[in-house]
């Protein structure tokens, strides 16, 4: 399924015009064509050209992430806002199912009992269900979720196919992104304090475009 069939001709023209403006105003950069598709869509979602410099890719993230999507890998999000923002038809065309456990009662109870965060326990729940290994982890809100992915990788050998590590904030946001960059996990991060659910949704939609060969 070509997900762009959902757009009207006018909608496509407006998006194309927006991308042309972004390309013109962004100027030179060090991203390849596929990486730029991700960065450009982040800029499109935020009107913030700083992401041209702060968005970083590692460990063959684009190729491995797209392969995971084509294989129908599960999508694990730290918050429901990400799941709500994703295009269900596009995901279904790949056979991918989104998951988030942060509001599950047992997750909340374990977080309270263990004096940790719901985000940490939600990643542990996803791991217990066998979703993290080979899955696509999308984190836009909780640095502790990203740090838990790093811990699972280092201590238990768990390796997602892709991590979009873009939590926003002031406590551990910077540190969690730097930590994932020191692992062997394929990653895309927005270095610094900026991030958020909107950005991760834009990035994942970009990966879906790349995976269908719809690069512009």
Known catalytic membership, residue 99 = no
Answer whether residue 135 is part of any domain.
yes
Answer whether residue 150 is part of any domain.
yes
Answer whether residue 127 is part of any domain.
yes
Please state the pTM of the whole predicted model: 0.92
pLDDT at residue 11, rounded to an integer: 76
pLDDT at residue 15, rounded to an integer: 84
Give CA–CA dist 127/69, Å, rounded: 18
Tokens matching residue 83: 């799941």
Neighbours of 130 (CB within 10 A): 10
Q: Residue 84 maps to which CATH number?
A: 3.40.50.10230
Give CA–CA dist 128/144, Å, rounded: 17
Q: pLDDT tens digits, the chain, 216 residues: what are they?
A: 444 456 678 777 888 889 899 999 999 999 999 999 999 999 999 999 999 999 999 999 999 999 999 999 999 999 999 999 999 899 999 999 999 999 999 999 999 999 999 999 999 999 999 999 999 999 999 999 999 999 999 999 999 999 999 999 999 999 999 999 999 999 999 999 999 999 999 999 999 999 988 666
pLDDT at residue 65, rounded to an integer: 98
144 contacts 119 by C-beta, under 8 angstroms: yes
Answer whether residue 37 is part of any domain.
yes
Answer whether residue 115 is part of any domain.
yes
Answer whether residue 216 is part of any domain.
no
Q: Note down the domain range covering 116.
A: 3-211
Give CA–CA dist 80/197, Å, rounded: 9
Catalytic residue among 29, 31, 44, 99: 44
Give CA–CA dist 175/195, Å, rounded: 13
Answer whether residue 205 is part of any domain.
yes
pLDDT at residue 2, rounded to an integer: 47
Give CA–CA dist 184/150, Å, rounded: 10
pLDDT at residue 216, rounded to an integer: 61
Number of domains present in the structure of the chain: 1
Using H for helix, E for strand and C for coil, what is the string for the chain?
CCHHHHCCHHHHHHHHHHHHHHHHHHCCCCCCHHHHHHHHHHHHHHCCCCHHHHEEEECCHHHHHHHHHHCCCCEEECCHHHHHHCCHHHHHHHCCCEECCCCCHHHHHHHHHCCCCHHHHHHHHHHHCCCCCCCEEEECCCHHHHHHHHHHHHHHCCCCCEEEECCCCCCCHHHHHHHHCCCCCCEEEECCCCCCHHHHHHHHHHHHHHHCCCCC
Give CA–CA dist 136/26, Å, rounded: 29
Answer whether residue 21 is part of any domain.
yes
Chain center to CA of 120 = 17
């Amino acid at each position: 399924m070509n997900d762009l069939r959902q757009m009207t001709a006018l909608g496509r023209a407006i998006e194309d015009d927006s991308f042309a403006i972004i390309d013109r105003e962004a100027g030179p950069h060090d991203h390849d064509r596929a990486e730029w598709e991700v960065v450009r869509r982040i800029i499109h979602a935020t009107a913030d050209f700083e992401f041209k410099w702060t968005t970083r890719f590692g460990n063959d993230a684009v190729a491995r992430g797209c392969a995971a999507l084509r294989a129908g890998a599960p999508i694990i999000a730290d918050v429901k806002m990400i799941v709500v923002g994703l295009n269900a038809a596009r995901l279904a065309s790949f056979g991918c199912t989104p998951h988030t456990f942060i509001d599950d009662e047992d997750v909340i109870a374990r977080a309270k009992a263990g004096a940790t965060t719901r985000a940490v326990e939600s990643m542990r729940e996803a791991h217990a269900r066998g979703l993290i290994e080979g899955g696509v982890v999308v984190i836009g809100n909780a640095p502790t979720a990203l740090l838990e992915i790093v811990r699972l990788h280092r201590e238990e050998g768990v390796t997602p196919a892709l991590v979009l590590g873009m939590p926003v904030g002031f406590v551990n946001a910077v540190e969690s992104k730097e930590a994932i960059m020191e692992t062997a996990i394929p990653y895309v991060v927005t270095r610094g304090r900026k991030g958020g659910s909107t950005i991760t949704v834009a990035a994942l939609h970009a990966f879906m475009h790349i995976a269908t060969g719809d690069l512009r």
